[in-house]
Amino acid sequence: MRKTQKKILFLCLVLFFILSSSFFVFYSQGYRFDFKNKKIVQTGGLFLKIIPSGVKIYLNGKYLKKTNFLFNSLFLNNLIPNEYTIQVQKEGYHSWEKTLPIEELKVTEAKYIMLFPKKIDFQNIEGNIQQIFPSPSNEYFILQKKINNTWQLVLLSSSLQKEVLLNEEDISSSQTQKTKLKKSLPKRIQNIIWASNERKILLQLEDGNQIKHLLVGLENKKIQEINLKDIKIREIKFHPKDSNTLYALGAKINQVKEESWQMFIIKAPTFLPAEIKLSPDIAPITFDFINGDIVWLNKDGFLFRGVLKNQSGLSISEIFNLRPKKIQQDTNYRLKLLQGNIFLFEGEKLFWLDPTRHLFVPVSDAVEDMQLSPDNKKIAISTGHQIWLFYLQDDYQQPRRFVLERFLLTTSESAIKNIAWLNPYYLIIGYGNGIKITEIDNRSRLNEVIISEFRNPQIFWVQNKKRLFAFSEQKVFFTDDILK
């Protein structure tokens, strides 16, 4: 071999070494050639986390792996930026599918994938039910059961224990303040208000043009009438830290005017209403409690926090909003405090007090049901045929959401009865034809599954027992199969 040929061969080998070394260096750093777009790109990754275990995962129709009890997740790297269709399947379960984008130097996540059984059995536990009244935690339910021409109240626990709380005739035979209640009994329970400890309830009974208020102990079954016949009640609530004390907002029958609404305190043992003296400029139009303190909105649109001072008035400790909320005449206002969040209903409209700006911000113009998520970051709102999400905090999980963000999640042809959070990432929906579960990750497509068919069901999810109750056509059902 001539000297010139040796030199050329050496240079070719050097060049090959440089090119191959560069290729491996770039390859190890995630560079790939995108044949579709004819350019060099850096790769991205995909992370999936799935419940239950034992599912098969497909990427663009190609089988990748099957998860097991120990490893229910999958991480793929070195993916060329593009859109990929992920399918998750398991025999006997509804499949999950979504198309997600992979971007350079980023990991796309779907960390809350859940598959639900195709066969979910509901068991009937009670019938002839006219109304159902859940406790705040859904640990207990009071069932108004029809028996011949009368009714009976049954206390049902989420553990499926049942006991008769009282019969309609028990009310007529009970002695309250040495006076028997009228025997012309109300035919309908208007509402049941629960104490925070779920050991007492306040029955509001229709009696002609009047509403009777009966305090009932769930443990001793003692019935105590609260004499409010001279007061038109707008709101009445148990004190959150004392089930023997109630607060009411109302006006004396001969003084029912907007400016005459006053607060009353009702305490054991007499349970006689005593007026709390308030100056007209701070008189409430609605109230609630936060950590035992009273929170109320006055007719000028300011939201106050205070404590009671020996029935001589309320001592103001805080004003929440910097700018007053404009109050509409002849409109019903209602405060609802959930886990430190302050919501205000103005008729059907909903507002949220932004704690950073100290202002009421509009959330929805029509609300039929509203539920706070278990992580307290967002609320789900039913407007009748639509479900919207509204974010109270930034959420850095994918897809990323920001405080005050609001978007339409899903639409239903039949009317939505009510909604419940299965967990922070899935909703249970009771609608005209049955019950379905939907994820809230609306990237590419929404995975929704129908789990049962009921007529206009009302649903109740008991988080700590993973048990779902449904009330439909005067029957109460339950299932433990959703997360099996």
Amino acid at 366: A
Last residue of a domain, one of 99, 114, 129: 114
Q: What pLDDT is recorded for position 75? A: 94
CATH number at residue 92: 2.60.40.10
Has residue 50 been placed in a domain?
Answer: yes
| CA of residue 89 relative to chain centroid, distance | 28
Mapped onto helix, strand or coil, the DSSP state of residue 79 is strand
> CA dihedral defined by 471, 477, 482, 484, rounded to 10 degrees?
160
* Separation CA 41–CA 35 (nearest Å): 10
As to burial, measured by CB atoms within 10 angstroms (0-12 exposed, 13-18 middle, 19+ buried), residue 70 is exposed
Residue 123 lies in a domain: no
Note whether residue 64 is domain-resident: yes
Q: Looking at the structure, tell me whether residues 453 and 404 fall in a common domain.
A: yes
Whole-number Å distance between alpha carbons of 450 and 427: 12
Name, in order, each residue with C-beta under 8 angstroms of 152's C-beta and a sequence gap of 6 or more: 144, 145, 164, 166, 167, 168
CB 140 within 8 A of CB 134: yes
Answer whether residue 459 is part of any domain. yes
What is the rounded distance in angstroms from the CA atom of residue 26 to the CA atom of residue 105? 13
Per the domain annotation, does 382 fall within a domain?
yes
Q: Which long-range contacts (CB under 8 A, 24 or more apart) does 147-155 make?
A: 151/189, 154/126, 155/218
Domain boundary residue among 69, 90, 114?
A: 114
My answer on whether omega of the bond before 399 falls inside 30° of 0, hence cis, is yes
Give the separation between CA 299 and CA 284, rounded to whole angstroms.
7
Domain end call among 59, 92, 114: 114
315: CB partners within 8 A, 6+ apart? 306, 307, 308, 309
DSSP class of residue 169 equals: H
Residues 452 and 478 grouped into a single domain: yes
Residue 377 lies in a domain: yes
Q: Output Rg (C-alpha) for the chain, integer angstroms.
A: 30
CATH number of 479's domain:
2.130.10.10
350 located within any domain: no
Rounded CA gap, 236 and 321, in Å?
24
Per the CB < 8 A criterion, the answer to whether 81 and 31 are in contact is: no
CB atoms within 10 A of CB 407: 11
Q: Is 368 exposed, middle or buried (0-12, 13-18, 19+ CB in 10 A)?
A: middle
Torsion of CA 447, 448, 451, 455, to 10 degrees: 180
The secondary structure element, H or E, covering residue 11 is helix 3-28
CA 191 to mean position of chain CA atoms: 21
How far apart (Å, rounded) are the C-alpha atoms in residues 437 and 426?
7
Question: How many residues comprise the chain?
Answer: 484
Q: Which of 280, 314, 317, 315 is nearest to 298 (CA)?
A: 280
393 and 443 belong to one structural domain: yes
Give domain status of residue 282, yes or no.
no
Residues 24 and 65 in one domain: no
Residue 474 sits in the same domain as residue 429? yes
Domain count, the chain: 3
Answer yes or no: do 391 and 475 share one domain. Answer: yes
pTM of the model: 0.90
Cβ(233)–Cβ(249) below 8 Å: yes
Sheet with 426-431, strands from edge to edge, namely: 416-423, 426-431, 434-439, 448-452
Task: Based on the fold, state whether residues 464 and 438 are members of the same structural domain.
Answer: yes
The H or E element containing residue 14 is helix 3-28
Measured CA to CA, the distance from residue 261 to residue 284 in angstroms comes to 7
Distance CA 308, CA 299 (A): 20
Beta bridge partners of 401: 395
Same domain, 483 and 415: yes
pLDDT at 183: 47
Q: Which two tokens stand for residue 91?
A: 């025999």
Q: Based on the fold, state whether residues 467 and 395 are members of the same structural domain.
A: yes
The verdict on 479 and 380 lying in the same domain is yes
Instruction: Per-residue pLDDT tens, the chain, 484 aa: give them.
Output: 566 665 666 566 556 555 555 444 444 445 554 556 656 768 889 999 999 999 999 999 999 999 988 889 999 998 989 999 999 999 999 999 999 999 998 999 999 999 999 999 999 999 999 999 999 999 999 999 998 888 999 999 999 999 999 888 777 655 444 344 444 444 689 999 999 999 999 999 987 778 889 999 999 999 999 999 888 899 999 999 999 999 999 988 776 555 568 899 999 888 999 988 888 888 899 999 998 999 999 999 999 999 887 766 788 999 999 999 999 988 999 999 999 999 999 999 999 999 999 999 999 999 999 999 999 999 999 999 999 999 999 999 999 999 999 999 999 999 999 999 999 999 999 999 899 999 999 999 999 999 999 999 999 999 999 999 999 999 999 999 998 8
68/110 same-domain check: yes
Q: Are strands 369-372 and 416-423 parallel, antiparallel or unpaired?
A: unpaired
In the three-class reduction of DSSP (H, G, I as helix; E, B as strand; rest coil), residue 185 is classed as coil
HEC letters along 122-140? CEEEECCEEEEEECCCCCE
pLDDT at 300: 94
Whether residue 469 sits in one domain with residue 396: yes
Domain that holds residue 23: 3-33
Residue 288: per-residue pLDDT: 97
